[in-house]
């Protein structure tokens, strides 16, 4: 089969290594950082050659195919060297899809993709044999190797889509597109948009693209760059002939003249954006012939995603909410939009070129105090200091939560919704969210 070199020994790297070995490749895993002990043990146990804390060029540049972790940017010199030698670089999503005949639902977008993917999987698993993978849970490659599901729901990032060649989901979903990760796209929004649309790159008219028709970025891009797919838009404001729309608290979905009506009154997820996530998930489920009753019940008992508007505790009539997964401004917009109480907002981290303007009206209306939690809080202090009475900065989660506790009154909320990446002070957004929850429980 040839030599498969894997750059990055994380979840997707290890899954690809196992699948590659099973399919007869000569596999080598190389990680510039340290590989986690649990992953090292898997490699040793399966007799797969690996190295960490370095990249040995002579062992990499003789590859027939390279699977690159989505976290490694294209501008890294080693990646350029690999491309200069015309060695094919692919993502784990591309590699794993070569070895399965399953029906694939691919979900991308700047926000809402984890919730939409989890919700879609929650509905489908009631009636189908289905796996959940991609940016979430066990790697797709590992599941193809060990589980062999007949269907997969994949949460897919733009970085994973950058390195696909023939990958084609039967059903693709684009939840929305707002500026994010622009540091990886030379600060050109157009490049990031094009990257998201690669999810429909190989689709034909037999395949479906479900998207938010209220999102001007998506609609304009489709106008100028038509796709082959059958389009199924969803909207909160317009009547949609083919797709989904909201009519007086009911989601109306029409596909091939077959209409279903889903009430939204008992949705467990709050906020307008979650009605959109429910529309996308229901449209997928309807396409895959899930019964109406099952879709309705699943929407009503879905528990949501950890670190996404997660209600942690109520202390002295103050609600503490963990939205650590809000790593960009638009995600924080949804969080602030969904609250209707005076709010102490904990924000900050590694800024990806954020423009906070779209938050101003919410901050003026709902936010009573801001706690900046980052290594460098200068931009936040400058942007918001005139808008709220109290703005403080700290570099410790425990301190941030204690300050919030002191300045809240009954009926307030404390919202951790950072609008930034977490890597300046935390291992990842999960670590940040767990530290918040622990600090709240220790009050």
324 is in an annotated binding site: no
List the one residue out of 411, 422, 416 whose CA is nearest residue 308: 416
Distance CA 23, CA 145 (A): 9
> Is 114 annotated in some ligand binding site?
yes
| Residue 410 token pair | 């009954």
Residue 131 known to bind ligand: no
**Cross-strand pairs, 302:** none
Q: With contact defined as beta carbons under 8 Å apart, do 384 and 312 qualify? A: no
Query: 169, 94 in Cβ contact below 8 A?
Result: no
Check whether 191 is labelled as a binding-site residue: no
Spatial separation of the C-alpha atoms in residues 73 and 10, rounded to whole Å: 15
Note whether 156 and 199 are within 8 A (CB). yes
Which positions ≥6 away from 306 have C-beta within 8 Å? Answer: 322, 430, 433
User: E strands, 295-374, where?
Assistant: 310-315, 318-322, 343-347, 367-373
Q: What is the dihedral of CA 424, 429, 431, 435, to 10 degrees?
A: 90
Confirm or deny that 112 is annotated as ligand binding.
yes
Contacts with 380 (C-beta within 8 Å, 6 or more apart), sequence order: 347, 348, 356, 370, 372, 374, 391, 393
Q: What are residue 389's phi and psi, to 5 degrees?
A: -70, -40
Q: Are 149 and 61 in contact (CB under 8 A)?
A: no
* 3-state percent breakdown (helix, strand, coil) of the chain, nearest 5: 35, 25, 40
Residue 109 assigned as binding residue? yes
Annotated binding site: 109-115
Annotated binding site for ATP: 109-115
């Amino acid at each position: 089969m040839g030599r498969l070199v894997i750059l990055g020994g994380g979840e997707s790297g290890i899954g690809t290594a196992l699948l590659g070995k099973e399919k007869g490749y000569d596999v080598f895993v190389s990680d510039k950082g340290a590989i986690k002990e649990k992953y090292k043990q898997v490699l040793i146990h399966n007799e797969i050659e690996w190295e960490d804390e370095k990249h040995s060029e002579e062992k990499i540049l003789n590859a027939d195919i390279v699977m690159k972790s989505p976290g490694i940017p294209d501008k890294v010199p080693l990646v350029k060297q690999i491309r200069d030698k015309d060695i094919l670089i692919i993502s784990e999503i591309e590699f794993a899809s070569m070895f399965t005949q399953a029906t694939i639902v691919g979900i991308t977008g700047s926000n809402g993709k984890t919730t939409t993917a989890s919700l879609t999987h929650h509905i489908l698993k009631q009636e189908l044999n289905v796996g959940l993978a991609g940016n979430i849970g066990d790697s797709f490659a590992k599941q193809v190797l060990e589980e062999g599901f007949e269907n997969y729901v994949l949460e897919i990032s733009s970085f994973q889509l950058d390195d696909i060649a023939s990958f084609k989901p039967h059903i693709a979903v684009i939840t929305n597109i707002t500026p994010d990760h622009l540091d990886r796209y030379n600060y050109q929004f157009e490049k990031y948009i094009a990257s998201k649309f690669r999810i429909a790159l190989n689709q034909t008219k037999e395949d479906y693209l479900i998207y938010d028709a209220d999102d001007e970025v998506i609609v304009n891009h489709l106008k100028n760059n038509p796709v082959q797919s059958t389009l199924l838009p969803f909207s909160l404001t317009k009547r949609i002939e083919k797709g989904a729309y909201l009519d007086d608290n009911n989601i109306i979905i029409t596909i091939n003249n077959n209409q279903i009506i889903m009430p939204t009154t008992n949705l467990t997820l709050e906020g307008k954006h979650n009605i959109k996530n429910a529309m996308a998930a229901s449209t997928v489920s309807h396409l895959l012939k899930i019964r109406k009753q099952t879709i309705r019940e699943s929407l009503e008992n879905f528990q949501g995603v950890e670190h996404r508007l997660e209600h942690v505790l109520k202390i002295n009539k103050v609600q503490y909410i963990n939205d650590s997964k809000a790593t960009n401004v638009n995600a924080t917009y949804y969080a602030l939009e969904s609250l209707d109480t005076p709010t102490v907002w904990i924000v900050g981290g590694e800024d990806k070129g954020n423009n906070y303007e779209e938050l101003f009206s919410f901050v003026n209306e709902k936010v009573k105090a801001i706690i900046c939690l980052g290594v460098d809080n200068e931009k936040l202090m400058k942007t918001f200091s005139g808008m709220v009475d109290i703005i403080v900065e700290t570099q410790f989660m425990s301190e941030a939560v204690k300050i919030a506790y002191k300045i809240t009154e009954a009926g307030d909320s404390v919202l951790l919704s950072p609008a930034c990446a977490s890597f300046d002070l935390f291992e990842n957004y999960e670590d940040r969210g767990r530290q918040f929850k622990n600090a709240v429980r220790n009050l």
